[in-house]
Structure 1
Amino acid sequence: ALLLPSSLGHRNCNKHGLAALADLELQLHIGQANDTLQSICFTLADKAVLFHTKLCHASNQSANTRAWGKVHQADTVLSRHAQIYRKC
């Protein structure tokens, strides 16, 4: 297993000269959080478009069912991004 500076603690990182690596790890976490937030925004926008274009204009039951299937897929993607963000 690969130990990251965050698993060693702040004092141990400073004691062993790993403060720069700890700062780099923090920047990577911040970058991942920003990327995930952007993905959440895009997924929410996609879901809004699905509601407007597919669901509102579904002319029969099968089209409505397909539209809801796509909305549920977007929900799954959104949940996955939210889970990643919570781990950042």
Structure 2
Amino acid sequence: MIRSFLQSIEDADEALKELFDPIFESLFQGEMNHHLGYENDDKDYKQRQNRRDGYSQKTDHTTKGDITIVTPRDRDGSFEAQMISKR
């Protein structure tokens, strides 16, 4: 069954790379929640002025090849992911 889906080692590598994206996205969201002090869907009043401000794309070089990661941004630009740092 798996054999018909994965025809080569390269296919297996591509499948693994596709698994990275949702894992990284969840980890980045957790870091942003911690950074801002509230959950993504929290509609309550917030004392801080800093808020979420969209996403940026980043290409990371791995042993399995390049992967594109979507990272969250905040308005004042103070968020820096700890899991995968810049540059």
* TM-score between the two structures when normalised by the length of structure 2: 0.37
Greater strand content:
2
Report the structure number with the largest CA radius of gyration: 1
Using structure 1 for the length normalisation, give the TM-score.
0.37
Higher helix share: 1
